[in-house]
Amino acid sequence: MEQERIKYCPECQVGIPRFGFATYFTWIEDELITVPDFPCWICDVCGRREWDSHSLMQLNLLLSPNAGKISQKRRPITSDRDLPIRKTTRKTLH
């Protein structure tokens, strides 16, 4: 996580953002997702929240539609020359 920084709030220009935790809300399609105790910077005057960028990246990985799925590697297209030669056996009639 990012270390506490000294800079003024971009919203009110007076307060100083302090590291804390708050509930993060986001929409994925038509579902509301809430994450309690999410790391963020909270202005001590106006309450503006700036979410921790590293934590947001981790959350995006978890909420990705492909999270937990094994990625399928595509097989390259092969020509007839690259196909294995099959051994055939002849049946003999007695």
Task: Give dist(CA 15, CA 45) in Å, integer.
Answer: 5
More confident residue, 3 or 25: 25
More confident residue, 53 or 91: 53
Q: Which of 92, 15, 24, 89 is nearest to 60 (CA)?
A: 24
Show me where the domains of the chain are located.
1-63
pLDDT at 92: 62
85 has a pLDDT exceeding 60: yes
pLDDT digits (tens, 9 = 90+) for 49-64: 999 999 999 998 888 8
Q: Which fold has domain 1-63?
A: Ubiquitin-like (UB roll) (3.10.20)
